[in-house]
Amino acid sequence: MSSNVLDIAELEFLYYARITENEDQRMKTIYLDNAATTAVLGEVLEVMLPYFTEQFGNPSSIYPLGQAASDTIARARCTIATELKAIEAEVYFTSGGSEANNWAIKGVAQANAKKGRHIITSAIEHHSILHTCQALEKIGFEITYLPVDRNGMVDSANLKAALRSDTILVSIMFANNEIGTIQPIAELARITHDHGALFHTDAVQAFCHEAIDVQTLGIDLLSASAHKINGPKGVGLLYARKGIAMTNLIEGGWQERGRRGGTENVSGIVGFAKAVELTSAERQQEHDRQTQLRNHAIARILAEIPYSRLNGHATHRLANNINISFEFIEGEGMLLQMASRGICVSSGSACTSGSLDPSHVLLAIGLPQEIAHGSLRMTLGRTTSYEDIDYAVDSLVQVIGNLRMMSPLWEDFKAYDSVSLIEALAGVQNS
């Protein structure tokens, strides 16, 4: 008897395994989450591979195998410094954007604590900035979190008002990872300098996608990451203007000018530089192409799905970012139904998609919790096509329709002719 039961279970298992396998083969995956991470380009992987095998030398070793690796890192640093209009000695390789953000904030705070203990940032920063600031608050620093307007913009008048004689650092992100809003960086940096403080920007989402000249923009410190620009995961950089007081991150080695010790991620750094080269060479072309795709998608969604609204600035916005809220919709259900159609999208940041808390960014732009919960982010990449976008929007129209049909909130709304929160918000914005 028992063996019979096992046989049936086994058969069932095989049956379902085959169905899933067939479905996997039939279903195309459409990746629209390039703000979370991107695919490594073939050319990038190609230049990385030799550094795992033949070119495995330690850059600190004196013999040719080591020196070859050291020269490679020097060339990579030069490529990246040129992209930023910086000099090589101002570029420090890190393990990514989060590490660079932690280092910038803690490093400047520790080295300048005698001058002052006040730091200004914004309410919509990445958690690697916000949580670092919260950690500093516990040890006696004061942090001002600037609000943003309904489009996610920091108001320079608010920055001016918040600056104090003991302000040592202002950190405002270049472009937001959830809603794509691009900040008036040059103006914010100028105001910061007028008050004698340093200006840091988390440029992880903007680096290479937007042209960034640290000289003309007046940026003192900048964070970037390779895996957001079709490079490998686990490598990034901190640009720090020459002469800036900042503590070392890792003691115990002469790597990165003695400020971040430890044997370098040679293959990662090589891949990072290649990704910078390729991404910046196609910057204008990709910017224009993705902007068109983005605007097409936004126009279709707003026209075809009632009670929807665009989050983030309409024009001061990353070319690849679409963030829309739908009333009477629960975000998780929407993501799962999109996933079942092979579409990879997110509800905000990768970090919040696993939790039930609404995004701090969407709350900061004034969305009520209910609306923030029903939000969707689609971020385009180099391989995103018109067909992909139209398939995603067609699917979205169906998914929202299905979910609303099952929603008691939607039924009540239809039955009692209640007030739409999204329409009310639009009214506030237009008045």
Report the catalytic residues: 351
Contacts 24+ apart (CB under 8 A), 246-252: 246/103, 246/104, 246/107, 246/108, 246/111, 246/221, 247/106, 247/107, 247/110, 247/111, 248/107, 249/94, 249/99, 249/103, 249/107
Q: Is 124 exposed, middle or buried (0-12, 13-18, 19+ CB in 10 A)?
A: buried
Q: Are 329 and 404 in contact, with CB atoms under 8 Å apart? A: yes
User: What is the nearest approach in angstroms of ligand PLP to the Cβ of residue 375?
Assistant: 17
User: What is the nearest approach in angstroms of ligand PLP to the Cβ of residue 350?
Assistant: 8
User: What is the nearest approach in angstroms of ligand PLP to the Cβ of residue 79?
Assistant: 19
Beta bridge partners of 224: 237
Q: How far apart are CA 379 and CA 324, in angstroms?
A: 12
User: What is the nearest approach in angstroms of ligand PLP to the Cβ of residue 100?
Assistant: 8
User: What is the nearest approach in angstroms of ligand PLP to the Cβ of residue 428?
Assistant: 28
Q: Are 165 and 351 in contact, with CB atoms under 8 Å apart? A: no
Nearer to ligand PLP, 38 or 384 (CB): 38
Nearer to ligand PLP, 144 or 181 (CB): 181
Q: How far apart are CA 262 and CA 421, in angstroms?
A: 53
Nearer to ligand PLP, 235 or 334 (CB): 235
Q: Are 125 and 202 in contact, with CB atoms under 8 Å apart? A: yes
Give me the residue whose beta carbon is nearest to ligand PLP. 97
Let me know the angle formed at the C-alpha of 78 by 269 and 99, rounded to the nearest 5 degrees: 45
Nearer to ligand PLP, 33 or 277 (CB): 33
Strands annotated E in 6-152 = 30-31, 91-94, 118-122, 142-146
User: What is the nearest approach in angstroms of ligand PLP to the Cβ of residue 27?
Assistant: 27
Distance of CA 359 to the CA centre of its chain: 14
Sites of contact with ligand PLP (CB under 6 A): 96-98, 101, 126, 128, 173, 177, 202, 204-205, 225, 227-228, 236
User: What is the nearest approach in angstroms of ligand PLP to the Cβ of residue 266?
Assistant: 18
DSSP letter for each residue of 311-342: -S-SSSB-TTEEEEEETT--HHHHHHHHHHTT
Nearer to ligand PLP, 36 or 305 (CB): 36
CA torsion, ordered 104, 106, 111, 115, to nearest 10 deg: 100
Nearer to ligand PLP, 207 or 326 (CB): 207
Helix (H, G, I), strand (E, B) or coil at 223: strand
Nearer to ligand PLP, 59 or 96 (CB): 96
Q: Are 246 and 107 in contact, with CB atoms under 8 Å apart? A: yes
